[in-house]
């Protein structure tokens, strides 16, 4: 849900008096509307849940919205000016989703830890970071967000991935 525009409310999504809606592994970013650029959820709609998604939270009108395990960060798309919304290597959406469909929108396979958004990052290989002292997101994406346990890195590693272990770590 990116680069959409609405003339009244909810640039990406307008929800009014609906039954239960559960949205997972999505990106709501750079949408525009006079009210609720990303999401407009009326007071009568208290059954909207968004999980493991990237939402520009400053642009949400909330009337009963449940949020779970979401982030609010520039998704770092590959080339949005050219309408390419695949994720770049530095995207905070990479490996930050949860279990869902086995393939992305263009039939690329999802990793063991799926990405947020329609497109799974298809880098040539992943570097997975491990540091017992890291205090970030514990997702292995960089040193700040390194896994604290080597087993977590081994669990998500795929053929061709590299696991980097911080110097002095008591793993070997």
The total of other beta-carbon atoms located within 10 Å of residue 59's CB is 21
Whole-angstrom distance, CA of residue 40 vs CA of residue 130: 39
pLDDT in tens, 22-58: 899 999 999 999 888 888 887 666 678 899 999 998 7
Evaluate whether 36 touches 64 at the Cβ level (below 8 Å).
Answer: no
Evaluate whether 132 touches 166 at the Cβ level (below 8 Å).
Answer: yes
Please tell me the predicted confidence (pLDDT) of residue 80. 87
Looking up tokens 């469909």 gives 101
The total of other beta-carbon atoms located within 10 Å of residue 22's CB is 11
Banded pLDDT at 124 (limits 50, 70, 90): low
What is this structure's pTM? 0.68
* Residue 157: pLDDT over 90: no
């Amino acid at each position: 849900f990116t680069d959409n525009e609405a003339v009244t409310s909810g640039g990406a999504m307008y929800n009014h008096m609906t039954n239960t809606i559960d949205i997972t592994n999505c990106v709501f970013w750079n949408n525009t509307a006079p009210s609720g650029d990303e999401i407009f959820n009326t007071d009568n709609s208290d059954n909207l849940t968004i999980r493991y998604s990237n939402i520009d939270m400053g642009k949400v009108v909330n009337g009963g919205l449940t949020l779970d395990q979401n982030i609010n960060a520039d998704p770092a798309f590959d080339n949005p000016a050219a309408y390419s919304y695949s994720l770049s290597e530095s995207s905070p959406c990479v490996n930050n989703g949860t279990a869902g469909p086995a393939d992305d929108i263009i039939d690329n396979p999802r990793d063991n830890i799926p990405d947020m958004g329609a497109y799974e990052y298809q880098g040539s290989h992943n570097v997975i970071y491990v540091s017992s002292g890291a205090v970030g997101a514990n997702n292995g994406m960089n040193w700040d967000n390194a896994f604290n346990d080597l087993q977590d890195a081994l669990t998500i590693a795929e053929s061709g991935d590299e696991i980097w272990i911080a110097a002095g770590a008591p793993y070997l």
